Amino acid sequence: MTDCKKGDIVLARIIFTDGSATKKRPVVVLSGHQFNSKREGVVVAAITSNTIRRIFGDIKLLKWKEAGLLYPSVVTGILLSIKKTLVEKKLGTLDADDLKRVDDNLRTCLDV
């Protein structure tokens, strides 16, 4: 799948931060149209169903089911740039309010 849009929830092969392995995980696309159309990759944030352990940079989704996720979920502060070839399929799209909350949280995390 190569057509990713900001706010899309996609299933992607993610490389662990220590580089030891990969795992299929849901992620939310954060990069916009200009970036996505001109590069071979997309910028994403990892999503987890572990809603109990939340640390700085994590934000709980309010409309997770409508976004195509199977369980209550949190968009984590784990940001990645991945090649579009690692994206397997689209699961859904974030609700506009959840996407705004994710964007606001990202600005706070990055001090912008």
Give the CATH number, domain containing residue 16.
2.30.30.110
DSSP structural state of residue 38:
H
Place of tokens 């600005």: 107
Q: Can you give the pLDDT at residue 89?
A: 95
Name the pTM for this structure: 0.92
**Separation CA 68–CA 52 (nearest Å):** 20
Question: Does 80 fall in a domain?
Answer: yes
Look up the domain containing 85 and give its range. Answer: 8-95
Tally of domains within the chain:
1
Question: Does 2 fall in a domain?
Answer: no
User: For residue 48, how far is the Cα from the chain centroid?
Assistant: 10
Question: Does 25 fall in a domain?
Answer: yes
Question: Does 108 fall in a domain?
Answer: no
Question: Does 106 fall in a domain?
Answer: no
Q: What's the mean pLDDT when you consider all of the chain?
A: 92
Question: Does 62 fall in a domain?
Answer: yes
Q: What is the per-residue pLDDT across 76-109, written as a single tens digit (0 to 9) for each?
A: 999 999 999 999 999 999 999 999 999 999 999 9
Question: Does 12 fall in a domain?
Answer: yes
